[in-house]
Amino acid sequence: MQVINTGQGVGGILNGFRALVEDSEKITFVGTPGFCTPFAELIGFVVRNKQLAFIPNLDFESAKTLLMTKQGMQLGDSTDPSADTVVLLGGLAMPKIGVEAEKANELVGRILNGKENGKVIGVCFQSMFSQQKWEEVIAFDYIINADLDIKVMEV
């Protein structure tokens, strides 16, 4: 694994992601409802001109479109989540969620449905995919990993 780009803050995540999916037509995000959904909406904003979908947990049949509305990026109607790019969000790998990497990998195969040039991208914080050894099970093409430095200040 080699670092191909670095950045800071939210802009670093968004710009890095946009560059990775330039040639993608349809992108399906997979994550936990609630925790990962806003991240899919945030990341999806920079590629809002593409076809986007969100799968909660690993429930293929519950996929929804992710679209730009007057209120910002939001989930829409049910959709077929088959895509040429899959984005696994790190919340799935958190131990308390209970998702197995093997099951996530099966879902990746179902979403890509045999596409030869399909991409698998992980987006996580604090090296979650590495910590939980998902990199040993899933053939990620790219992982965007961000570290958080939090300060709570009293003023």
Reported as a single tens digit per residue, the pLDDT across 66-108 is 999 999 999 999 999 999 999 999 999 999 998 999 999 999 9
Minimal CA–CA distance to 79: which of 28, 8, 139? 28
* 1-33 core/surface letters (b: 16 or more CB in 10 A; e: else): eeeeeeeeeeeebbebbeebbeebebbbbbbbe
The per-residue DSSP string of 90-106 comes to: GGGGSGGG---HHHHHH
Q: Which pLDDT value is given to residue 4?
A: 73
Task: Record the pTM.
Answer: 0.93
What structural domains does the chain harbor? Answer: 24-146 (3.40.50.2300)
Give the pLDDT score at 5: 72
> What mean pLDDT do residues 44-56 have?
97
Residue 111 has pLDDT above 90, yes or no: yes
Using CA atoms of 68, 71, 75, 79 in order, give the dihedral in degrees to the nearest 10. -40
pLDDT-derived band at 1, boundaries 50, 70, 90: confident
Q: Across the chain, what does the average pLDDT equal?
A: 93
Task: Supply the pLDDT for residue 10.
Answer: 81
The confidence band for 131, taking pLDDT boundaries of 50, 70 and 90, is: very high
CB 29 within 8 A of CB 36: yes
